[in-house]
Structure 1
């Protein structure tokens, strides 16, 4: 029997086994929405760069009904704006920071500062870590049969959120993600752009021109590694 750990309980209107972006129609205030995302999915949605937002907009697909909270908040101890589960906020399109409202309401055409006490629908990030150990190709096939792909990681925040998910000891020290070396460069197998990379600094630089290790994995330290595609590792579908 396959040993699969699901870190998500799908209680929204999402229809497939694992959508990377989940729109939750429940009307919650910002703290409640954040808790919901962290409990039922991976975390609150973060859109930390232009490319990441472009990928997300494909999910929204011009559906004007899909708008709501995303994961920006004011972190008092560090005295800065942060993404839920991630890094400091540097990308806000053309929106100026507000000293009145502390959270962001996302719409396809613009972002708006709104009070976190208000109740709105919201977006969660959703990644499923599969404990069963498979080769990269078999992991890709497993995800594909479930209507999804091996995950892409489009920002430092998204990578950190995935890193947090794979910490339990039941998962291998590295887990497969959707990185594959084809032709002369690394690509996300789902066709996403690559605005962010997390290869190690110094040390093993085999990923620069891999001969055998042509599949990408995420370590529990948050670093990407090139690995032999025939290794059997846990993996992330999204």
Structure 2
């Protein structure tokens, strides 16, 4: 399949195309695929001279084949791995793929809050007629004390918007997390009891720790969190 189809497949059935951040992960990908396979590395749309991972992580670890990337014919914007070495190739070529699963995902697409919620809940969900809303495996991120917050603060630095959507929403006169997780009293005290009608959705900023509320129709990146990670 093409790189785009591989990405869509991985996002439907897993988290995304594989991200390789160290030699251990590179070897794991190599063991998963004995031939050329797509990984989640591609040209940065905002900086064609740079490469970026689909999950937003900066490219620190690299294992290019000698002489690569060479952008042959100026059309090689996606990456395959073979025998632990990477090669840039045209995205319309067809290869197998290596997917991965992650608990926290930064989605670098600009969507409204409702679109972001729908995107998260579609991840790894079997689109069958018998599926119900409770069958989804991912939801918009909820914030609480713990490692998830620390990981989110690191990952958000790769976002393309200054704030990202999280799962905080004002509904029926109350603030709540859309995944049903209890809202901590400390957070309740920081939120307006009666917010402006256009500011019913929560965001997390790149800098600072203060969450804010924004117009739900605005478009920004967002975090999806695996539901078991509470």
TM-score bucket (shorter structure): 0.3 to 0.5
TM-score of the aligned structures, taking structure 2 as reference length:
0.45
Q: Computing the radius of gyration over CA atoms, which structure comes out larger, 1 or 2?
A: 2
Higher relative contact order (CA 8 A, sep 6+): 1
Normalized per residue, which structure has more helix? 2
TM-score normalized with structure 1 length: 0.43
